[in-house]
Amino acid sequence: MTRHFTDIDDLSSDELAAVLNRAADYKEKQRAGIPHPDLERQTMGMLFQKPSTRTRVSFETGMTQLGGHAVFLGENDIQLGHGEPLKDTARALSGYVDAIMARVFEHANVEELARYATVPVINGLTDDAHPCQTLADLLTIREAFGGFEGTSVAWVGDANNVARSLALGCALTGVDLTVATPPEYALDDDVMEQAEALGPAPTVTDDPAEAVAGADVVYTDVWISMGQEDQRDYRLSAFEGFQVNGELLAGSDDARVMHCLPAHRGEEITDEVIENERSLVFEQAENRLHAQKGLLAWLLDE
C-alpha cells in the first residue's frame, strides 16, 4: 500500500518519531560531511501552483543530497485539473517518478492526487495545511529543548494552514499548545476535534499576553497570506495587538521565537525579535531540509 503525506496526522506518533529521528541523523551526517545517498537514482516530481523559496530549494537540495533528482513543474508547465484531469496527471506521473510533491491552493487537489497516484504524494502546502513545515517545527523544538515533554508553545496571530498542522503535530507529540487569535480567525472546530482525537487539544484564547505567559516557544506567521492581499487593511486592523514584539515577550522570560517565513517585519513580528538571540527562525528554516529528507527516506527507502 502506497504511503502518502497529505497532513501531519497521516503519521502515527511512532511514525512521526521515526521521521524526526531520521531527519536528525541526516542533519548530523551532513554537518559531518558524511554522504547519505539513500535514494540513489530516485526522482521526485514537484508540482507548484504557489511560488516558494524554502519549499523548492529544500526539497530539490534534499533529493540531491539523498542521491536522487527532483523535477520542477511550475504553473506554466502543468495545468492542475484544467488542461488534464488530476487523476490522469497522478497516474501519468506515477509512471515517471518515485514521489510527487505538490504545493497548491486547494487541499482537495492533493487528496485527489493521492487517491490516484501509485507513488507517495507529499503535501508541500495547501490553503488548509502545511505538514512539512510542522515536521521542521517539531524538529526545531526537539533540538532546542531536548524533547517534547513539558514543552509549551504559544501561537499568536492567524490560525492559518501552518497553525492547523501545528495543532495536530503538537497533539501527536504531547506539546502543550495555546492559540491566541482574534475570534474570527480562530482554529476551525474540525481541527480542534482532530487534535483532541490525537492527544491534548490546544487551549484557545483571544489574549496574546495570556498565551505567551510562561511559554517556551512563541510562534507567529504572516497575517496576510498569498491571495489575501485584497483583505490587507481589514486584517491589519483585526490583528492589532497581536504583534510579536519585545513588549509581548516580556511576559515570558526565556521564550524562544519561531516564524515559518517569509516574515512581514513590522507587521506580525518586529525586526528586533527576529534578529534577537532568542530567535530560532533560521534554525527552523534550515530544518525544512533535514525534516523533508527524513520524510522522503521514510516514504521511499524501504
Confidence (pTM): 0.97
Please check whether residues 11 and 154 belong to one and the same domain: no
Tell me the β-bridge partners of 46. Answer: 72, 101
- Choosing from 42, 133, 243, 284, which is the catalytic residue? 133
- Choosing from 103, 164, 235, 259, which is the catalytic residue? 103
Place of cell 534550515: 286
Please check whether residues 137 and 126 belong to one and the same domain: no
Please check whether residues 183 and 267 belong to one and the same domain: yes
Please, are residues 130 and 159 in contact by the beta-carbon 8 Å criterion? no
Residue 37 has pLDDT above 70, yes or no: yes
pLDDT tens-digit readout, 188-243: 999 999 999 999 999 999 999 999 999 999 999 999 876 777 889 999 999 999 99
> How many whole angstroms separate alpha carbon 271 and alpha carbon 47?
33
Tell me: is residue 232 an annotated ligand-binding position: no
Amino acid 276: pLDDT: 94
Tell me: is residue 123 an annotated ligand-binding position: no
Q: What is the CA radius of gyration of the chain?
A: 19
Tell me: is residue 225 an annotated ligand-binding position: yes
Please check whether residues 185 and 276 belong to one and the same domain: yes
The pLDDT confidence band at residue 302, using thresholds 50, 70 and 90, is low
Beta pairing, strands 203-205 & 217-220: unpaired
Please check whether residues 126 and 146 belong to one and the same domain: no
pLDDT tens-digit readout, 50-79: 889 999 999 999 999 999 999 999 988 887
Please check whether residues 202 and 257 belong to one and the same domain: yes
Domains contained in the chain, number: 2
Please check whether residues 162 and 228 belong to one and the same domain: yes
Please, are residues 244 and 234 in contact by the beta-carbon 8 Å criterion? no
Q: What is the CATH number for 120?
A: 3.40.50.1370
Q: Is 288 left (phi over 0), alpha (psi -120 to 50) or beta?
A: alpha
Tell me: is residue 54 an annotated ligand-binding position: yes
Please check whether residues 91 and 122 belong to one and the same domain: yes
Tell me: is residue 288 an annotated ligand-binding position: yes
Spell out the alpha helix ranges (H) of 79-145.
86-94, 107-116, 131-145
> How many whole angstroms separate alpha carbon 117 and alpha carbon 270?
43
Please check whether residues 121 and 163 belong to one and the same domain: no
Please check whether residues 26 and 91 belong to one and the same domain: yes
Please check whether residues 280 and 295 belong to one and the same domain: no
Please, are residues 100 and 42 in contact by the beta-carbon 8 Å criterion? no
- Choosing from 22, 56, 130, 259, which is the catalytic residue? 130
- Choosing from 164, 256, 288, 290, which is the catalytic residue? 288
Residue 117: give the domain boundaries: 4-130+288-300
User: Is 288 an active-site residue?
Assistant: yes
User: Is 170 an active-site residue?
Assistant: no
Please check whether residues 48 and 78 belong to one and the same domain: yes
- First vs last C-alpha separation in the chain: 12
